[in-house]
């Protein structure tokens, strides 16, 4: 059980959804878990409930990440913090593009830069990156989100090359729709978003994704679970559209 080989974990985006469930699961496995997000009240509640160590920090605060990574030799890094904005690139604004790149990609790269060399030096570690089916498939959504998640997906593969020869494992978790508050965080109006995206569907819960993360970590150290695509059974990506010119929308 490699959980016994690991002592410390850092989970970003820990104040809700998949991140909070992952903190709870890893604490249940006996790890010292550092939970990072901006919402200090939610983190404090999670700390009271699970005994995790809260860090109220924005992942785009690179100096803050540097301080934290210098303090703790992390054995497990779960890059989970993520944001999206409504609308396609046709309606994107500069602030939205910068935000998605900063949170979904730049912070992931910086955390890998700060944490993975220590894992390599200790010959022990596990990076879990939460991407999305948006990184693998094209469908109606925000193209900046798709682009940042595709980058995280390729980074996950490339990290395997960077760590070649060392017992540093890398797992990309690629979820489809999961029953979290992300839709309310993207679109506002929690009640309406719950009705539109959650109510009446059979969806994986945040704890199910945490369970998949735990499975990858608990695997024998000789085994690397590289990629897990997890969708609702009743959800499939894909499709093909062909527009006649007179009906094509700008
Ligand atoms: N739910 C789905 O259907 C789904 C599908 C595919 C992929 N995903 C991915 O799964 C991950 C977790 O999403 P979720 O569904 O659990 O959504 P969520 O409930 O909205 O959680 C997002 C987390 O990211 C944190 N975060 C956002 N901006 C941050 C920042 N600047 N600094 C630090 N933390 C920040 C949020 O905390 P604060 O606001 O407190 O900072 C929150 O804890 C994301 O990467 C998302 O893209 C989700």
Q: Is the dihedral of CA 120, 121, 124, 126 positive or negative?
A: negative
d(CA 51, CA 187): 32
Cα of 216 from ligand 1 centre, angstroms:
20
Instruction: Print burial letters for 203-229: b (CB count within 10 Å at least 16), e (below 16).
Output: bbebbebbebbbebbebeeeebbebbe
Tell me what pLDDT residue 248 has.
58
Q: Could you list the pLDDT tens digit for every one of the 250 residues in the chain?
A: 689 999 999 999 999 999 999 999 999 999 999 999 999 999 999 999 999 999 999 999 999 999 999 999 999 999 999 999 999 999 999 999 999 999 999 999 999 999 999 999 999 999 999 999 999 999 988 999 999 999 999 999 999 999 999 999 999 999 999 999 999 999 999 999 999 999 999 999 999 999 999 999 999 999 999 999 999 999 999 888 899 998 655 5
Please give the backbone phi and psi of residue 147, each rounded to the nearest 5 degrees, phi first.
-65, -45
Tell me what pLDDT residue 249 has.
59
Instruction: Give the three-state DSSP class for 74.
Output: coil
Shortest-distance atom of ligand 1 to CA 39: 40
The predicted model scores a pTM of: 0.97
Ligand 1, pocket residues at CB < 6 Å: 12-19, 37-39, 58-60, 80-83, 103, 130, 132, 175, 177-178, 180-182, 185, 206
Instruction: Give the three-state DSSP class for 87.
Output: coil
Beta bridge partners of 130: 173
End-to-end CA distance of the chain: 55
Dihedral of the alpha carbons of 219, 217, 176, 199, in degrees to the nearest 10: 110
pLDDT 10s digits, 194-244? 999 999 999 999 999 999 999 999 999 999 999 999 999 999 998 888 999
- In this structure, what token pair is assigned to residue 89? 């690139």
Which residue's CA is the closest to the ligand 1 atom numbered 20? 182
Instruction: Print burial letters for 177-196: b (CB count within 10 Å at least 16), e (below 16).
Output: bbbbebbbeeeeeeeebeee
Tell me, yes or no, if 145 is annotated catalytic: yes
């Amino acid at each position: 059980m490699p959980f016994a080989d690991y002592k410390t974990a850092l989970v970003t985006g820990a104040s809700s959804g998949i991140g909070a469930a992952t903190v709870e699961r890893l604490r249940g496995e006996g790890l010292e878990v550092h939970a990072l997000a901006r919402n200090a009240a939610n983190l404090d509640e999670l700390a009271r409930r699970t005994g995790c160590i809260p860090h109220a920090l924005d992942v785009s605060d690179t100096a803050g990440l540097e301080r934290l990574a210098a303090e703790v030799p992390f054995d497990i890094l779960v890059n989970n913090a993520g944001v999206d904005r409504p609308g396609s690139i046709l309606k994107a604004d500069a602030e939205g593009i910068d935000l998605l790149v900063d949170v979904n990609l730049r912070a992931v790269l910086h955390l890998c830069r700060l944490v993975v060399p220590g894992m390599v030096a200790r010959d022990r570690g596990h990076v879990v990156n939460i991407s999305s089916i948006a990184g693998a498939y094209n469908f109606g959504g925000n193209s900046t989100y798709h682009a940042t998640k595709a980058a995280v997906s390729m980074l996950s593969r490339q990290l395997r090359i960077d760590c070649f020869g060392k017992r540093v494992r890398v797992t990309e978790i690629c979820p489809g729709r999961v029953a979290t508050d992300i839709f309310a965080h993207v679109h506002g109006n929690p009640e309406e978003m719950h009705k539109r995206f959650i109510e009446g569907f059979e969806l994986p819960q945040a704890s199910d994704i945490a369970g998949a993360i735990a499975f990858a970590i608990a695997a024998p150290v000789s085994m690397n679970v590289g990629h897990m695509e997890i969708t609702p059974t009743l959800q499939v990506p894909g499709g093909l559209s062909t527009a006649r010119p007179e009906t094509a929308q700008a």
